[in-house]
Chain A
Amino acid sequence: MRLLELRDVSKAFGGLTVVDHLTMHVDEGEIVSVIGPNGAGKTTVFNLITGIFDVDSGEIVFEGERVSGLPPHKITDRGIARTFQSLRLFLNMTVLENVMAATYGHTKASVVEAMLQLPRSRREEKRIRALAEEKLAFFGQRLVGYRHDQYAYSLSYANRRRLEIARAMATNARLLLLDEPAAGMNPNETHEITELIGELREKAGYSILVIEHDMHVVEGISDRVIALDHGVKIAEGSFDEVATHPLVVEAYLGARAQEEAV
């Protein structure tokens, strides 16, 4: 079943077309990787899906309903959550608060209820605290225990990436968009994150769209790979198909290199 569909989506900044008539989809329970050289438009695609930018033409459909044109927080409420390539945590808030903040969309207690500590507010608070702890527990020993009350700025780089994923999970999303989850990680951590992405699907049931430059990660996790260059989809298929596709090789290495390789 189609979970997310981009239908003929285009986006231009001034005269520069960044995403050019892109059509792609993510199925329920699938892990799809988007690859492409720097400036290919990968992150722009994420920004279009999450509503940070409006599409110029075409439409984006999630679970059969059009989401393009909605404000970002409404799109997240529908079930799409993302992480950022350059981490954007709430640094002066604790680890637990970072995750709890992301539950805003599916909590109801009004500010008056909170002010007067009415029962619904207290119940809800208890519930989302448990929910946040559960999401953090997904990362094993990395983010548990005393770290819950530590400020996010004190976390290491790898743990910040983990916390961003935990925060995205707390929105009750069904589809996670991970923007370069392995960027800046050492080989051990990269290996760990590869396994984690697998677990996110197997144990937690997420569908995942991931941007990644590390080909080991892409090879290890992807059901399907989509290659972009200059905002155009140049190849789609299994990792092996895409990795050996002449247009992909050209995009990464240039036309002459490809001739020499042949």
Chain B
Amino acid sequence: MSAPADGSPPDGSPVTGPTEEAAEAPKVGVDEWVARHEERRQAHGGLTGAVIQGWDRVPPAGHLAILFAPFVVFGFVANEGNLYRYGLITLIYALLALGLNVVVGFAGLLDLGYIAFFGVGAYAFGIMASGHSGHHLPAELAVPIAVAFTALVGLLLGLTSWRVSGDYLAIVTLFFLQAFVIFVNNANGGPSDWSYPFVGKVDITGGANGLDQIDPLRFFGYSISTTKGYYFYTLISLAVLMAMLFFVNRSRTGRAWRSLREDPLAAEVMSIPVNRLKLLAFVFGAAIAGYCGTIFGSVQSGAFPGDYDVGLLITIYAIAILGGLGSIGGVVIGALIVNGVPELLRSSENARLLFYGALVVGLFLAMRPWYRPVVVIVGTIAFGFVVHGVAGAVWPRGTAGHIQGGARLAGPLEHWVLLPTHPGRIGGWAYFALIAMALVLTLVRGWWRTLLLIPTLYLAAFVWENELVEQVSGATRLILLGALLVVIMNVRPSGIFGTARVEVV
């Protein structure tokens, strides 16, 4: 059978391009077409393309080095406080997310009890090595025992995954986390505590006051005593575990985990003992979390019930999802963003920079052609000076205020934004007006939208300087973080490094 003269394929599928191209180009829907389409879709030109291609050419060990080099430098240059807030906590979060990634990202088991393992590790270490318990095992014994014990608890919790999966597993494991928190809150040998067989009432966890005076990590007589020491200890642990998980992911075990995530029934029928692999994933996740707990316990020199609750669970999930579930490098980037951004935003100087920067970048990303955002920005600046000038004449109080938390931009800003001496309710009303204007913006099109953007942006700056900056260490930085997460997840729905894709059938 010969193809019709117009070059359309014999099966009647639509023609993709000009005839001469169709002769060699694959047909729509055929694998090769899908592959090429995918390539085109993912192809980036210019600088971005060069960076992505260069990144792909680097071997995995190089990726690890590139990812960790800034951390090493940071460890040497940062002061104690910054090293703890930005460095150590980020690394601990990344390590936790790495373990969660095994359970949720690889094996696809929705484990909401994960943080309990973090706590089990910290408490187990604390019981073996603290002034509270009176035992002082060296870390080379206490850490492996704590990790093994946590892994055992993980094994027991993992048994539930034989019978329940998906949402049901989530409920069961969440219950486990709650049970853990209640247990550590009460197991202090007090009057309401349980009397154990043979030993009677025992103080195990110190109850709500926590298990204090946990020893520093002391390996073979050498004790880690500085934040810097803990930072590098955690950094090396993270790098080693990432490398190990990278290899596991590429091995038969990793493939088996991922296949059970994709389709447990098909995996089972393809000779994979699904139940055993689920347990293995739980054990792996629990062991990593437990190990992380031993670090966190000795860093804090204490274990407190409030540290191992749902809030942290959500943070770690956010990191894993943001970095891309199933991606090993993603957890580090996720932890950097989720921990670093809100910390940076505590200073109004940084927050202001991020706010105006994000507005400008957002405008250039969202508007085409290039001159539209330029018109908007120039227009907004001019509009601001005009409004400021008029207000200065008719409403002196409106321009008499000062910028919060002096900034490099303070001078020009004070001549641009209206700064009432006592913003009070004006700021609140402006906030509502801003939301209303943003909604109106979505209803208009074309140049109307461009023009309307100018007063909206000016209003946004007004709200920012008069209302939001005041609460920058509280609600505002969380609003900004939330906005950032929404934007990232919109751009990369499967996470920054994620590859998993939901198929549209």
Q: Taking beta carbons and an 8 Å cutoff, which residues of A are in contact with B?
A: 50, 52, 71-73, 76-77, 81-82, 84, 88-93, 97-98, 100-107, 109, 111, 114-117, 121, 124-125, 128, 146-147, 150-151, 153-156, 159, 167-168, 171, 186
Please give the distance in Å from A99's CB to the nearest CB on chain B.
Answer: 10
B288 within 8 A of A: no
The residue from B35, B255, B271 contacting A93, defined by CB atoms under 8 A apart: B255
Which of B38, B247, B326, B499 lies at the interface centre, i.e. has the most chain A CB atoms within 10 A of its CB? B247
Establish whether residues B266 and A88, one from each chain, have CB atoms under 8 Å apart when the complex forms: yes
Contacts across chains A and B counted by CB atoms under 8 Å: 130
Please give the distance in Å from A44's CB to the nearest CB on chain B.
Answer: 15
Bitwise, B249-275 to A at CB < 8 A (1) or not (0) is 011111110110111011111111110
Please give the distance in Å from B413's CB to the nearest CB on chain A.
Answer: 49
The residue from A101, A121, A150, A168 contacting B272, defined by CB atoms under 8 A apart: A101
Ranked 7 nearest A-B pairs via Cβ: A105-B271, A114-B251, A88-B266, A90-B262, A76-B271, A102-B270, A101-B255
B30 within 8 A of A: yes
Establish whether residues A117 and B501, one from each chain, have CB atoms under 8 Å apart when the complex forms: no
The residue from A84, A89, A102 contacting B271, defined by CB atoms under 8 A apart: A102
Please give the distance in Å from A102's CB to the nearest CB on chain B.
Answer: 4
Chain A residues near B251: list those with CB within 8 A.
Answer: 109, 111, 114, 121, 125
The residue from B244, B255, B266, B272 contacting A115, defined by CB atoms under 8 A apart: B244
Establish whether residues B31 and A88, one from each chain, have CB atoms under 8 Å apart when the complex forms: no
Contact A71 B259, CB 8 Å, known A92-B499, A104-B252? no
Establish whether residues B280 and A111, one from each chain, have CB atoms under 8 Å apart when the complex forms: yes
B11 within 8 A of A: yes
Count, chain B residues at interface, CB 8 A: 40
Establish whether residues B34 and A154, one from each chain, have CB atoms under 8 Å apart when the complex forms: yes
Establish whether residues A156 and B29, one from each chain, have CB atoms under 8 Å apart when the complex forms: yes
Establish whether residues B31 and A155, one from each chain, have CB atoms under 8 Å apart when the complex forms: yes
Chain B residues near A81: list those with CB within 8 A.
Answer: 269-271
Chain B residues near A71: list those with CB within 8 A.
Answer: 268, 273
Main secondary structure on B side of the interface with A: helix
Chain A residues near B270: list those with CB within 8 A.
Answer: 73, 76, 81, 101-102, 104-105, 167-168, 171
Please give the distance in Å from B9's CB to the nearest CB on chain A.
Answer: 12
Chain B residues near A98: list those with CB within 8 A.
Answer: 259
Please give the distance in Å from B266's CB to the nearest CB on chain A.
Answer: 4
B248 within 8 A of A: yes
Chain A residues near B261: list those with CB within 8 A.
Answer: 92
Establish whether residues A105 and B272, one from each chain, have CB atoms under 8 Å apart when the complex forms: yes
Establish whether residues A111 and B253, one from each chain, have CB atoms under 8 Å apart when the complex forms: yes
Q: Taking beta carbons and an 8 Å cutoff, which residues of B are in contact with A?
A: 11, 29-31, 34-35, 38, 244-245, 247-248, 250-256, 258-259, 261-263, 265-274, 280, 284, 326, 499-501, 503
Q: Show 27 residue pairs from A and B whose CB-CB distance is below 8 angstroms, ordered by the A residue.
A: A50-B269, A72-B268, A73-B274, A76-B269, A76-B270, A92-B499, A97-B255, A98-B259, A101-B256, A101-B259, A103-B271, A104-B255, A104-B270, A104-B272, A111-B248, A111-B251, A114-B248, A114-B251, A114-B253, A115-B245, A115-B248, A124-B252, A125-B251, A154-B34, A159-B31, A168-B270, A186-B11
Q: How long is the Cα–Cα vector from A103 to B253 in the complex, in angstroms?
A: 11
Chain A residues near B500: list those with CB within 8 A.
Answer: 92
Chain A residues near B273: list those with CB within 8 A.
Answer: 71, 73, 104
Residue of B nearest to A92 (CB): B500
Q: How long is the Cα–Cα vector from A186 to B245 in the complex, in angstroms?
A: 43
Residue of B nearest to A128 (CB): B252
Chain B residues near A101: list those with CB within 8 A.
Answer: 252, 255-256, 258-259, 267, 270, 272
Chain B residues near A82: list those with CB within 8 A.
Answer: 269
Q: How long is the Cα–Cα vector from A98 to B259 in the complex, in angstroms?
A: 8
Establish whether residues A114 and B247, one from each chain, have CB atoms under 8 Å apart when the complex forms: yes
Chain B residues near A159: list those with CB within 8 A.
Answer: 31
Contact A92 B272, CB 8 Å, known A115-B244, A159-B31? no
Q: How long is the Cα–Cα vector from A79 to B149 in the complex, in angstroms?
A: 39
Chain B residues near A84: list those with CB within 8 A.
Answer: 266
Query: Beyond A91-B262, A104-B273: 5 further Cβ-contacts under 8 Å?
Result: A81-B270, A104-B252, A116-B244, A116-B247, A151-B499
Residue of B nearest to A97 (CB): B255
Chain A residues near B253: list those with CB within 8 A.
Answer: 111, 114
The residue from B247, B262, B265 contacting A92, defined by CB atoms under 8 A apart: B262
Which of A89, A97, A111, A168 lies at the interface centre, i.e. has the most chain B CB atoms within 10 A of its CB? A111
The residue from B247, B269, B503 contacting A117, defined by CB atoms under 8 A apart: B247
Please give the distance in Å from A184's CB to the nearest CB on chain B.
Answer: 12
Establish whether residues A93 and B247, one from each chain, have CB atoms under 8 Å apart when the complex forms: no
The residue from A115, A150, A151, A153 contacting B247, defined by CB atoms under 8 A apart: A115
Chain A residues near B271: list those with CB within 8 A.
Answer: 73, 76-77, 81, 102-106, 171
The residue from B252, B263, B280 contacting A109, defined by CB atoms under 8 A apart: B252
Establish whether residues B31 and A147, one from each chain, have CB atoms under 8 Å apart when the complex forms: yes
